[in-house]
Amino acid sequence: MIPSTYPPKDEIARLTARMLLEIGAVNFNTDTPYTLASGLPSPSYIDCRKLISFPRIRATLMDFLTVTVMRDAGFEAFDNIAGGETAGIPFAALVAERMALPMTYVRKKPKGYGRNARIEGAMTEGQRVLLVEDLTTDGGSKLSFVDAIRETGATCGHTAVIFYYDIFPETEKTLGDHGVALHHLCTWWDVLAEAKAQGVFAEATLTEVESFLNDPRAWQAARAK
């Protein structure tokens, strides 16, 4: 069912951050930083995959994501909802259900046998596709999924995520130069603000995390092995 209420964006951001903190999806460790997929260190790590195990929070966030996309992109803007392998698949399915649209998913690479497909499900030429993912950092990983969608003859000018890092200035330009608009629910800044309000982490930890968020490249360069 399509949600009928439209909370303000700032309230959606605050509540999303609160829910991520509540389920332990937010991880801060300044003593032993996490290693990101890029190989660089980070004192913060977000695990949106945990959301699928919390039905009430999962349902609320999918309502938020659906209304955000419809408000920002249009109520009749899409014909197909695609999830990126693997984290985007459950969220794409849930958004597609709410919007009463077909759902597909995009493999990271061809599976190597059978049809050797990257698109699973029915996607046809001319369809307007929304790419749904759990999060985005610098936007780069989304481009391969978008290209695979466009190779079918469909269009993809929008991607929607639960969490957007919002600390790398090139992200929205990278996506924009590829003709893709980004829609999101909350960022690290929203999570940091809610973590401070709740007092769920030590003040020294939050100060170090804020230092990272303000200049992640310099923070990483100083600690890279």
Query: How does pLDDT run across 178-221, given as a tens digit for each residue?
Result: 999 999 999 999 999 999 999 989 999 999 999 999 999 899 88
Alpha helices for the chain (secondary structure H): 9-22, 55-73, 88-99, 140-150, 171-177, 188-198, 203-214, 216-223
Which residues, given as ranges, of the chain have pLDDT below 70?
A: 1, 3-5, 38, 112-116, 224-225
How far apart CA 109 and CA 73 sit, in angstroms, is 28
- For residue 155, give the 3-state DSSP assignment: strand
Strands 80-84 and 128-136: parallel
How far apart CA 31 and CA 76 sit, in angstroms, is 48
How far apart CA 25 and CA 12 sit, in angstroms, is 17
pLDDT tens per residue across span 137-159: 888 889 999 999 999 999 999 99
pLDDT at 4: 64
State CA 149 to chain mean position distance.
18
Domains and CATH numbers, the chain: 9-217 (3.40.50.2020)
45-73 core/surface letters (b: 16 or more CB in 10 A; e: else): ebbbebbeeeeebbebbbbbbbbbbbeeb
Contacts of 168 (CB under 8 A, 6+ apart): 137, 138, 216
Contact 138, 171 (CB under 8 A): yes
- For residue 136, give the 3-state DSSP assignment: strand
pLDDT at 112: 64
Give which of 171, 159, 166 is closest to 190, Cα–Cα. Answer: 166
- pTM comes to 0.93
Give which of 103, 3, 22 is closest to 60, Cα–Cα. Answer: 3
